[in-house]
Amino acid sequence: MTGLRVLRGQRSCRADAGRSAEAVRHTIVAIVLAVVTAIPATAQNPDWPSQRPPAPLPARDVKFPPYEIKTLPNGLQIIAVEHHEQPAISMRMIVRAGSAQEPPGRAGLASLAAALLDQGTAKRSAQEIADTIDFIGGELDTGAGSDLTHIRVLVMKDSFDLGLGLLSETARAPVFAQDELERQRQQVRSALKVSYEDPDYIANVVFDRLVFGFHPYGLPNSGTPESIEKITRDDLVAFHRTYFVPNNALLAIVGDMVPKEAFAAAEKVFGDWARKEISSPSILDPPPSTRRVVVVDKPDAVQTEVRIGHVAVPRKNPDYMALNLLMKVLGGEGANRLHRVLRSERGLTYGASADFDTFKWSGSFKAETDTRSEATPEVLRLIVEEFGKIQREPVFESELIDAKAYLTGSFPLTIETPDAIATQVLNVLFFELPLKDLETFRERVNAIGVDDLGRVARTYLRPDRLSVVLVGNASTFASKLPGVGFGRFETVSLNDLDLTTTDFKRVRAGGDRDHEIHYELTWAAPQKPDASKRPSRQAATAEELARGKALIERAITAKGGLAALKGVKTLTATATTRLIAPQGSVEAVTRTFIVYPDKFRVEATLPDKNEVVQTYAAGKAWIKDPLGVHDAPPPMRDEFHASAQRDLIPLLIEAAKGKLQARPQATTAPDEQDLEAVELSGGDEREPVTLYLDKATGLVVKVAYLMATPVGRPQRTEELLSDYRELDGVQIAYKAVVRRGDQTMLERVVTDLKLNQPIDEGLFKKP
């Protein structure tokens, strides 16, 4: 029964749970307030000595505590942490399936599935499960997040087998009875009704939608009032059948037992759980950051909830630690500039913080605070200023020292209880990080310097592209936003709020808009792979160079000969393009206009009739989407540029001119038996491209290159070309499939294509 505890917490003004603003109560020592004029509150200790803080006692060495890991033959990974102080055992199962795995239009499915796990299994009804766990004085709870579902069982040690049995039943054999589904659906409906009145909730979900778009992280885990009505029992059963398999799960057993006994007990109830391969999800990157300000108007609000930030990186990014420290300086333990500027210096808020949230596939930077309505514009200005400052100027050495000292010093606090230890091990396994990270935590923190913070600030922060959400009484502050530099903003009334539309507005009855779901084209926004990180190789031998040249000549001949390629000045094509995302695929009709060598325009019409235009012309790139016309962010512009360079026609012409070095490559993969490979490179400014020629025809059937992914490590991307047809003496591939890793990202089938049609240059001009 958590309700009463929450209420008691509020009454006591306890600030140690949840959004713990008090926990970050902080400012740098350097602020010299006018303490000279201060009067002691008490005259009882007039002779109190002046003193410096005392020196610490000798420190005791601290290591990450022991734990054991065992993987069952069916793939279930089990962690055991032994701890005998209290006669209790806690168990936690994590299944790698959350809202990121929901099919389109079914937001809330993972949470609903989690809520139903303990509401009836093949063995017991919902009430029998409740009676069983309550009677033994245990606890059982389930829940789902963005990337995972958890089941937690706590029992006293004499009920270990019973508790583990219940965990196994709820994970393996929930029945998802229709009447239980309706009961839970009603609960979610009512809960959403309450949440939609809660400015804190609204600010967070609108922020996530702004930052992640229609990426699965963009919609709330709890679903929306619309999506929750569509979920069927079949959806739940399919979700469970697909993802709840042992090779997709982790189990931690913690407390008053010995690991050997825990592993044996787990094997007894999970050993016969059949392994089943699941296809790895192909999750597109979130859209690039764009500056956008959304005001959600709640006229009865007395405070404005403020969220400011943009997309970041997934947990498994090599710059994670530097970014973590950077955000600590901005608004975490240590310097906490936001807290100082907003609370300590101005009393504008109870608390302000900057969070660096990282998930499996992406993440976000988010500054958050709340303030009285009329102070909203000032708070907005101050936070945006701090984002700019930390991006432009190096942080003070002392600030970094404080943030590092906090992180390294806090290490023993993070391993106090056996559950805390297990959480750390689970995290590392879940995010597929090296286990040795647990022991090297302090070394990794200490390795970061001021320069690292400067580098990651410049690389990842975009103060000019912040998403801003303000939930409050708009009439008290909206007219003053232009005065602090925010002339463009959108206002949505809370009653009209719809998270599934591009403009956040609900379509009224009789409206002509597609009510289902509005897709935004999600574009990869990679950073440029770092040329200096390319593996250095020996210089090519004369023999290699000759062989490379011959391969290029063969490719040119097969494509129609150099003269024919040089004769192509423009290309106009219509194609059906399918973007493949985990929510399903989005099909768009695209029209492409190319003026060689370096201009292109792609127009895409999406299922909801929205149109997106992307244009690149000699170094300049712009986009038109439902939000309007704007410049493409630099990473996207760079990718457009690279893509223009990779077009086979200019690429082969450049190679023939000798401007690119051609070097044969070994073909090793099984599907490359009948292919010959040649790598084209041209200095640091362009990423090498490998062409794969069909041995029989000489046609290029595959183009491969490295593209940076959000995980940071550049990943190999392949375009598979097929269905070659001749047009004006040139061979053109009518079908292309783009793959990254083993996932298909995009398929394009040309329906109509013409060469050398006149193209209006005005198409490339930004309106």
Partner 1 sequence: MGYARLLLTAAMAAALTLTKVSAAVRPPRLDYQITKLPNGLTVVLSEDHSTPIVHLQLWYHVGSKDERPGRTGFAHLFEHMMFKGSKNVDSEAHTSYISSVGGQSNAYTTDDTTVFWETAPAQYLPLMLWLEADRMASLKVEKATFEREREVVKEERRMRVENQPFGRLQELIYDQAFTVHPYKHPTIGSMADLEAASIEDVREFHATYYVPENATLTLVGDFDSAQALQLVDRYFGRVRKASKPVPRDIPKEPPQTKERRVSLEENWPLPAVIVAHHITYDGHPDSYPLHIASKILSDGQSSRIYKSLVYEKQIALAAFGGGNIVEHPNLFFAVAIVNPGRTPEEATSALIAELERFKAEAVSEHELQRAKNQFARDYIVSRESNQQKASHLAHAVVIHDDIKTADGEFDIFMGITRADVQRVARTYFTEQNRLVMTVLPRGYKKGQ
b/e for 663-677, b at 16 or more Cβ within 10 A? bbbebeeeeeeebbb
Q: Which of 66, 71, 123, 131 lies at the binding interface for partner 1 (CB under 8 A)?
A: 131
Q: Which of 142, 146, 371, 467 lies at the binding interface for partner 1 (CB under 8 A)?
A: 371
Q: 284 near 482, Cβ under 8 Å?
A: no
Task: Give me the least distance between CB of 713 and partner 1, in Å please.
Answer: 31
Of the ranges 6-14, 271-279, 603-611, 674-682, which one interacts with partner 1 (CB under 8 A)?
6-14
CB-based contacts of 354: which residues, under 8 Å, 6+ apart? Answer: 309, 327, 330, 331, 332, 338, 365, 366, 367, 368
Q: 158 near 190, Cβ under 8 Å?
A: no
Q: Which of 71, 127, 440, 446 lies at the binding interface for partner 1 (CB under 8 A)?
A: 127
**Closest among 121, 107, 145, 148 to 244, alpha carbons compared:** 148
**Both tokens assigned to 16:** 């140690």
User: Is residue 136 part of the contact set for partner 1 (CB under 8 A)?
Assistant: yes
3-state secondary structure of 716: strand
Q: CA-CA distances (angstroms) from residue 118 to 132, 243, 686?
A: 11, 17, 55
Q: Is residue 657 packed enough to be buried (19+ CB in 10 Å), middle (13-18) or exposed (0-12)? A: exposed
Q: Which of 71, 161, 189, 260 lies at the binding interface for partner 1 (CB under 8 A)?
A: 189
- Residues 341-370 binding partner 1 (CB under 8 A) are 343-344, 346-350, 370
CA distance 495 to 714: 44
User: Is residue 378 part of the contact set for partner 1 (CB under 8 A)?
Assistant: no
Of the ranges 153-161, 447-455, 656-664, 716-724, which one interacts with partner 1 (CB under 8 A)?
153-161
3-state secondary structure of 464: helix
Q: Which of 123, 193, 241, 754 lies at the binding interface for partner 1 (CB under 8 A)?
A: 193
- Choose between 155 and 606: whose C-beta lies nearer to partner 1: 155
Backbone angles phi, psi at 259, to 5 degrees: -50, -40
User: Is residue 587 part of the contact set for partner 1 (CB under 8 A)?
Assistant: no
Of the ranges 150-158, 279-287, 447-455, 558-566, which one interacts with partner 1 (CB under 8 A)?
150-158
User: Is residue 446 part of the contact set for partner 1 (CB under 8 A)?
Assistant: no
User: Is residue 395 part of the contact set for partner 1 (CB under 8 A)?
Assistant: no
User: Is residue 35 part of the contact set for partner 1 (CB under 8 A)?
Assistant: yes
Task: Give me the least distance between CB of 70 and partner 1, in Å please.
Answer: 24
Q: Which of 318, 409, 482, 628 lies at the binding interface for partner 1 (CB under 8 A)?
A: 409
- Is the previous residue joined to 597 through a cis bond, with omega within 30 degrees of 0? yes
Task: Give me the least distance between CB of 253 and partner 1, in Å please.
Answer: 16
CA distance 372 to 710: 37
**Closest among 602, 681, 603 to 646, alpha carbons compared:** 681
- Choose between 6 and 749: whose C-beta lies nearer to partner 1: 6
Query: Could you write out the DSSP letters of every residue in 157-207?
Result: GGGHHHHHHHHHHHHH-B---HHHHHHHHHHHHHHHHHHTT-HHHHHHHHH
Of the ranges 127-135, 205-213, 569-577, 588-596, which one interacts with partner 1 (CB under 8 A)?
127-135
Q: Which of 126, 474, 653, 736 lies at the binding interface for partner 1 (CB under 8 A)?
A: 126
> Position of tokens 């020996």?
538
- Choose between 410 and 757: whose C-beta lies nearer to partner 1: 410
Task: Give me the least distance between CB of 406 and partner 1, in Å please.
Answer: 5
User: Is residue 154 part of the contact set for partner 1 (CB under 8 A)?
Assistant: yes
Q: 603 near 574, Cβ under 8 Å?
A: no
Q: 691 near 678, Cβ under 8 Å?
A: yes
Task: Give me the least distance between CB of 387 and partner 1, in Å please.
Answer: 22
> Position of tokens 């530099």?
485
Q: Which of 196, 396, 431, 489 lies at the binding interface for partner 1 (CB under 8 A)?
A: 196
Q: 606 near 612, Cβ under 8 Å?
A: yes
**Closest among 418, 344, 267, 261 to 21, alpha carbons compared:** 344
User: Is residue 443 part of the contact set for partner 1 (CB under 8 A)?
Assistant: no
Other CB atoms within 10 A of residue 439 CB: 11
Distance of CA 81 to the CA centre of its chain: 30
Task: Give me the least distance between CB of 456 and partner 1, in Å please.
Answer: 22
CA distance 450 to 402: 12
Task: Give me the least distance between CB of 714 and partner 1, in Å please.
Answer: 36
- Residues 277-316 binding partner 1 (CB under 8 A) are 300-303, 305
b/e for 95-108, b at 16 or more Cβ within 10 A? bbbbbbbbebbbbb
- Residues 316-335 binding partner 1 (CB under 8 A) are 333-334
User: Is residue 636 part of the contact set for partner 1 (CB under 8 A)?
Assistant: no
Q: 551 near 676, Cβ under 8 Å?
A: yes
**Both tokens assigned to 444:** 């990794």
- Residues 12-31 binding partner 1 (CB under 8 A) are 12-16, 20, 22-23, 25-29, 31
Task: Say which amino acid occupies 496.
Answer: D
- Residues 56-95 binding partner 1 (CB under 8 A) are 56-60, 62, 85-88
User: Is residue 162 part of the contact set for partner 1 (CB under 8 A)?
Assistant: no
User: Is residue 38 part of the contact set for partner 1 (CB under 8 A)?
Assistant: yes
User: Is residue 537 part of the contact set for partner 1 (CB under 8 A)?
Assistant: no
**Closest among 502, 542, 544, 539 to 519, alpha carbons compared:** 502
Task: Give me the least distance between CB of 502 and partner 1, in Å please.
Answer: 26
Task: Give me the least distance between CB of 646 and partner 1, in Å please.
Answer: 49
User: Is residue 495 part of the contact set for partner 1 (CB under 8 A)?
Assistant: no
Q: Calculate the CA dihedral of residues 238, 244, 248, 252 and round it to 10 degrees.
A: 160
Task: Give me the least distance between CB of 55 and partner 1, in Å please.
Answer: 7
- Choose between 349 and 661: whose C-beta lies nearer to partner 1: 349
Of the ranges 309-317, 340-348, 674-682, 715-723, which one interacts with partner 1 (CB under 8 A)?
340-348
User: Is residue 123 part of the contact set for partner 1 (CB under 8 A)?
Assistant: no
Q: Compose the 538-577 pattern: x for residues touching partner 1 by CB under 8 A, - for all others.
A: ----------------------------------------
Other CB atoms within 10 A of residue 157 CB: 14
Task: Give me the least distance between CB of 12 and partner 1, in Å please.
Answer: 4
User: Is residue 673 part of the contact set for partner 1 (CB under 8 A)?
Assistant: no
Task: Give me the least distance between CB of 118 and partner 1, in Å please.
Answer: 8
- Total binding residues toward partner 1, as defined by CB under 8 A: 112
Task: Give me the least distance between CB of 500 and partner 1, in Å please.
Answer: 21
Task: Give me the least distance between CB of 467 and partner 1, in Å please.
Answer: 22
